[in-house]
Amino acid sequence: GHSAAHVARADVVVTSSAVRADNPEVLAAKAGDIPVIPRAEMLGELMRVKDGVAVAGSHGKTTTTTMIASVLARGGLDPTAIIGGKARAFGSNARLGQGEVLVAEADESDGSFRHLFPMVAVVTNIDREHMDHYGSIEVLRAAFVDFANKVPFYGLVVLGADDPVAASLAPELLKRHVTYGLDSGDYRGQVLSAGPDGTRFRVVARGKQRGEVHVRTPGIHYAENALAVLCVSDFLGVPFADYCAALETFEGVDRRFSVRGEAAGVLVIDDYGHHPTELKATIAAARLYGRRVIVAFQPHRYSRTRDLFTDFAPAMAGADIVVLTDIYAAGEPAAPGITASALLDTFTPGRPVRYVPRADLVQALGDLAAPGDLVLVLGAGDITQAAADLLKRLRQGQATPAPTMIGDIPS
């Protein structure tokens, strides 16, 4: 946990946007006259002495950042990486390399990514997110333009062409840029197959056939992330063979479509997704298994739930059963009328959806799940523990799975 003792011998304390001003380590640092600076400011300083690759975007940036680091490591560049999640290959959210490249996830949530001065800037997509800070999608978009134009004349901006907002930045960029996508872009991916073993696609770069690529993680959106990675690795001179080999063995990021295990014939997958766009893509990946999909979703933050209130239900249309549980506040005060149970009214009448208090979630999922089902646990809060607890319950035989008709949800 957090303790003032942790900073006793520190020269500087670096904080993320999630750290509150009353954090005991922050208070102790200020009392001891130890500098306290934002994460982005420290990254900006590091990028003055390194060749920075900064990955920004509403969705996919953690996986894309990790993929880039893995490909560059395979290509012999020995990068340093700072990631917003735990990379399984590194066993950490960071990698300390001896090379000249620093790969970092750029946080746009509070505008702090404007502190960065990368040699390569990647913008995966731009969605209606963090409206508590920006107020409108137009202001958010302008922040991304500012971020991308921090690239030097010898650098590169990489844009997701399949996202209309990200693609729209191109005319306002002052620096060299390249686009990628499955439907359009300078780098295109032609999907050959998609299933539980991942996605195979053929790369065509600027009209030239490059070869076939296999991304092991299920979900076509991971192939799109991989195309962004190729734009970066080509720019930095990594051979295509090393790029392919790194993706073939890519182990992913914790809580990004993480298969936790199978018990009593029930497959349990855990994912950090909490925005409607992420929910839709992750559920589509789960459907590739050919199983009945039961989604357990924990909304994240009252402000986000309020701003996107009517978007969650259609995003989860691909699930056979939806179980909603209490909003994870993440330090926010409750908002009047904004509850998980209130979300029920946004679903089409007759849809198999129910609300279950967080304390009863594991039992409810155990009662619902039958052999052959896939339970997909979604959310950025403490719902990840429900995945582990459900597996434990199933393994101990505490649940008695029985076939449940899609429209028959016990109350």
Task: Catalogue the active-site residues.
Answer: 61-62, 105
Q: Where are the alpha helices (DSSP H) in 308-368?
A: 312-315, 340-343, 361-368
What distance, in Å, lies between the first and last C-alpha atoms of the chain? 38
Cα 217 from chain centre: 13
Q: Is 49 exposed, middle or buried (0-12, 13-18, 19+ CB in 10 A)?
A: exposed
Helix, strand, coil percentages (3-state) for the chain, rounded to 5, are 35, 25, 40
Number of Cβ within 10 Å of residue 318's Cβ equals 18
Q: Is 136 exposed, middle or buried (0-12, 13-18, 19+ CB in 10 A)?
A: exposed
302 backbone dihedrals φ, ψ, rounded to 5°: -65, -40
Q: Is 65 exposed, middle or buried (0-12, 13-18, 19+ CB in 10 A)?
A: buried
- Please report, for residues 129, 366, 377, the alpha-carbon distance to residue 397 in angstroms, rounded to integers and kept in the order given: 41, 10, 20
